[in-house]
Structure 1
Amino acid sequence: MSSKKVFIIGPGFIGWNVLELLAKEGYAVTGYVRRKEHAEQIKASGASNVVLGDLNDKTLITHHAAAHDIVIHTATADHLPSAEAVLDAIQQRAERGLSTIYIHTSGTSVLDDGSKGSTKSSRVYHDNVKSEIDSVADSAPHREIDLAILKAQKALGARAKIAIMIPPLIYGFNPDHGRLTIQIPTLTRWALKHGFAGHVGQGLAVESNIHVLDLARAYVVLLHHLESVPADDPQVRDNPYYFCETTGDAEPSWKDVASVIGESLHKAGLISDAAPRTIPPETYGDLFGADFTAAVIGLNSRSRAVRLRELGWRPVEKSWRDSYVGDELPVILKEEGDLEAFSGYQGTVAS
């Protein structure tokens, strides 16, 4: 059992699962959420306290983060003000002689090579080689926030323990929560609307993936590690990056993903042809928009979770294919609404 207080910003698809695991271990967990309905849900899952607020309310986030020993940000990888609010809180605590553990969520879109489905990249990034990750452009997705955290980590030194979790394509379904992930369900809805399963370009690009429950356990393993080592430990001080993937060299291409979607919808009698095809760019508005679709579902992003495995973490959940066919697709097919009105995913994709 732990008496330490944890502040989770955005306990949604990822963070809700993390919250449940920590609550079961005896942590006092406060969730920062937007909606009263979700506040009641995470209370039922073990949250000891809930704060209603918006990510743009830096004052409120800083106030509550400063009152907690541990902060975990799982709301989004692309919101600089909320990350800055946490860093301000950590600085305030450091000035009072208090140490803080901060785990921030980024995503492996930071590794995107701009292939737009044209090729499978041979480049694989390893989290135990910091220089590989630092080689990405400062303008890469999520990188602005990651760089702000790296700068703060350097300034804080041993007064805080900071880590950046970098998950890849996330899949999986927790029936107790009823929440779906983003990319593959969106591709499925697109296929139902347009009558065939699709991929960007030739669909050859590949991305590592992780089941959300394996990812949630990884946060807990990482937290326990950070709690167990001093802040000046080289593992903490010199490298904040942690990948979390399940596939190794067996990453599916986006064409592989489209093939499973096509086969599944054809078997269900919902499309006439199972064969996947290239998605016409003029329909990107029904996916992630003209500016982001090729980056979200046409990227090469190959990562290896060397460091978590060294800490004893292992993925144990079902594969992306089995999860999609057995867990996620049945939920998608029960969704109500006019498919003709479906206009893609409107939020920010974190991976």
Structure 2
Amino acid sequence: MVATAGKTVFLLGAGFVGQHVIEFLLESKYAVTTIVRKEEIAAKLEKAGVKAILGTLDDHELITSQVAEHEVTINTSSSDDLPSVQAILAGVRKRVVQDLPITFIHTSGAGVMIDDARGRYKTDKVYRDDDPADIDALPPTAIHRDVDLAIVEAAREFGAKARVAIVIPPVVYGFNSNHNRLSMALPVLVKFALKHGFSGRVGEGRNVWGSVHVADLGRVYPTLVEHLGSEPSSALVENPYFFAENGTEFSWKEAAEKIGQILYKLGKIPSPETKAWEPSDLKHVIGPATEIYFGGNSRSVGTRLPKMGWVPREKDIWASLEEDEIPYMIATQI
């Protein structure tokens, strides 16, 4: 993949996903600028060839000015911070009124499609990114949806003058020793099991999600940067959604069982058996939201990225958990 000469990228969110994105952008010879909170992270990124600016998601004027200076903006920070996204859109608007090229790629999450199964069943409902009507029908109260809707409405305003995409990944897993960062979902369950001596789930754990390795997700963004220019602008306005999933689904019962088996084999818990969490356990997972996030279904099929040449190539979720995440967590006592 060869970058367009002179194309510059501003990335907001140089964290778990963002650092992988930066690696692949640099490999493709893009000039990358990002905002980070800590000087030591800035120094590391600068050494790798990134222009790093100190700041936070609350520095809205800084964000807007950086977006206005770059041909491409990628947001891999919070999926729920509406003010920072509004700052990005303000920068996009500045480029639009000047007739400057602009591509904006935002990262949402498959939580937007989650139901209220609470572990009781596997839904038959599967969302597809080539069928935007189902996604557009999601209520504005859905997780992440207020931010997504602000972007969708702005994209309609910009029309053909901006290329806007929303990446929707399912459960993101994986570990890279160069970054020493972990995902949220599975490590949270591992932490609970290590602390409380058993691997838990919501109810019967029959609910299902998809998955994607963080490195495969990282490759999505340069793929989109390269190919969005050839997408009909009208098609993007009508359907900005891209599901980044690797074709593998799992139930949260299966996740609990895998974690139990691995930790038992390592001698970290007394039994591989799993059980449903009691209400008193939930505060040790992610609080009241546990029953929704870990108890709901979110099934998705992505057809648009494979047509652009994106092919998942990393190890599967259970190999990654056993070979990478759990050993790191135990070694560092996270």
TM-score range relative to shorter protein: over 0.9
Equivalent of 1:280, from 278, 281, 305?
278
Q: Does the residue aligned with 2:187 lie in a helix, a strand or coil?
A: helix
Q: Which runs of 5+ in 2 are unaligned?
A: none
What amino acid is aligned across from residue 284 of structure 1 in structure 2?
Answer: L
Question: Are residues 1:13 and 2:10 paired?
Answer: no
Distance between the aligned counterparts of 1:289 and 1:37, measured in 2? 32
Q: What whole-Å deviation, never above 9, does each CA across 1:193-223 have from its counterpart, x for those lacking one? A: 1110001111110100000011111111111
What amino acid is aligned across from residue 296 of structure 2 in structure 1?
Answer: L
Contact 2:109/2:167 (8 A) holds in 1: yes
What amino acid is aligned across from residue 10 of structure 2 in structure 1?
Answer: F
Question: Are residues 1:46 and 2:49 paired?
Answer: yes
Distance between the aligned counterparts of 1:89 and 1:4, measured in 2? 17
Aligned to 1:319: 316
Aligned to 2:163: 161
Q: What whole-Å deviation, never above 9, does each CA across 1:130-180 have from its counterpart, x for those lacking one? A: 001112111000000000001101111111000000010000111111111
Contact 2:160/2:234 (8 A) holds in 1: no
Aligned to 1:122: 124
Aligned to 1:85: 87
What amino acid is aligned across from residue 238 of structure 1 in structure 2?
Answer: E
Q: Does the residue aligned with 1:31 lie in a helix, a strand or coil?
A: strand
Q: Does the residue aligned with 1:141 lie in a helix, a strand or coil?
A: coil
Question: Are residues 1:194 and 2:196 paired?
Answer: yes
Question: Are residues 1:294 and 2:294 paired?
Answer: no
Query: Any residues of structure 2 matched to 1:183-222 within 5 Å, and which?
Result: 183-222=185-224
What amino acid is aligned across from residue 268 of structure 1 in structure 2?
Answer: L
Contact 2:130/2:303 (8 A) holds in 1: yes
Question: Are residues 1:303 and 2:306 paired?
Answer: no
Aligned to 1:335: 332
Task: State the shift of 1:297 in Å.
Answer: 1.4
Contact 1:16/1:42 (8 A) holds in 2: no
Distance between the aligned counterparts of 1:126 and 1:41, measured in 2? 39
What amino acid is aligned across from residue 26 of structure 2 in structure 1?
Answer: A
Equivalent of 2:256, from 244, 255, 258?
258
Contact 1:102/1:161 (8 A) holds in 2: yes
Aligned to 1:340: none
Q: What whole-Å deviation, never above 9, does each CA across 1:207-262 have from its counterpart, x for those lacking one? A: 00000011111111111111334xx5333232100001113xx4110010000100
Task: State the shift of 1:306 in Å.
Answer: 0.6
Q: What whole-Å deviation, never above 9, does each CA across 1:307-335 have from its counterpart, x for those lacking one? A: 11111211111000000001111001112
Aligned to 1:342: none
What amino acid is aligned across from residue 319 of structure 2 in structure 1?
Answer: D
Distance between the aligned counterparts of 1:258 and 1:44, measured in 2? 40
Q: 1:45 to 1:285 in 2, by over 3 A?
A: farther
Contact 1:55/1:82 (8 A) holds in 2: yes
TM-score by length of 2: 0.96
Tell me whether 100-109 or 115-124 shows the greater mean CA deviation.
115-124
Contact 1:24/1:46 (8 A) holds in 2: no
Contact 2:72/2:104 (8 A) holds in 1: yes
Contact 1:19/1:46 (8 A) holds in 2: no
Contact 2:169/2:244 (8 A) holds in 1: yes
Distance between the aligned counterparts of 2:175 and 2:46, measured in 1? 20
Q: Does the residue aligned with 1:207 lie in a helix, a strand or coil?
A: strand
Distance between the aligned counterparts of 1:102 and 1:293, measured in 2? 32
Q: Which runs of 5+ in 1 are unaligned?
A: 338-351
Distance between the aligned counterparts of 1:254 and 1:159, measured in 2? 43
Distance between the aligned counterparts of 1:328 and 1:265, measured in 2? 12
Distance between the aligned counterparts of 1:38 and 1:120, measured in 2? 42
Distance between the aligned counterparts of 1:197 and 1:44, measured in 2? 41
Task: State the shift of 1:11 in Å.
Answer: 1.3
Distance between the aligned counterparts of 1:128 and 1:44, measured in 2? 40
TM-score by length of 1: 0.92
Identity, % of aligned positions: 40
Equivalent of 1:29, from 25, 28, 32?
32
Distance between the aligned counterparts of 1:245 and 1:43, measured in 2? 31
Equivalent of 2:176, from 165, 174, 177?
174
Aligned to 1:347: none
Contact 2:166/2:241 (8 A) holds in 1: yes
Contact 2:159/2:234 (8 A) holds in 1: no
